[in-house]
């Protein structure tokens, strides 16, 4: 599979990484102790999304494993962010859900 076929998933992962980083930063500025799990998941999700992008861009034979794990991490992050009412967490939850869907779709293509 060429990395062009990964483009929608790559775009979703890039967006998700950016939004997760913004959410983590906002949470740190607000209430870092209360938002500790949200911050940790945002950071993990952003990092894993970037990893997934790199694997897809080079058409690694392990893409299916990476995007499947990325979907799981995104779904967990979405669940945590959805628990919080602030705008950045709600935006992050929605973005993570979209990324999880894109990653699961990509994982089933292989």
pLDDT of residue 2: 56
Cβ–Cβ < 8 Å for 24, 45: no
CA distances from 26 to 1, 65, 72, 73, 83 (A): 38, 31, 23, 20, 15
Helix (H, G, I), strand (E, B) or coil at 33: coil
Full-model pTM = 0.92
Tell me: domain 3-109, CATH 2.40.50.140, correct? no
pLDDT given for residue 14 in this prediction: 97
How do the pLDDT tens digits run along the chain, 110 residues long? 456 778 999 999 999 999 999 999 999 998 878 899 999 999 999 999 999 999 999 999 999 999 999 999 999 999 999 999 999 999 999 999 999 999 999 988 75
Q: Which of 47, 44, 67 is nearest to 55 (CA)?
A: 67
Provide the pLDDT for residue 25: 95
């Amino acid at each position: 599979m060429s990395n062009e076929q990964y483009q929608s998933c790559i775009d979703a992962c890039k967006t998700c990484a950016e939004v997760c980083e913004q959410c983590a930063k906002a949470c740190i500025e607000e209430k870092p102790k209360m938002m500790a799990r949200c911050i940790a998941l945002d950071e993990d999700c952003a990092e894993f999304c970037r990893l997934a992008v790199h694997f897809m861009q080079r058409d690694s034979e392990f893409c299916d494993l990476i995007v499947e794990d990325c979907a799981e991490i995104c779904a967990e992050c979405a669940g945590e962010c959805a628990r919080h009412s602030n705008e950045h967490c709600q935006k992050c939850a929605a973005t993570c859900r979209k990324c999880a869907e894109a990653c699961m779709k990509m994982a089933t293509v292989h």
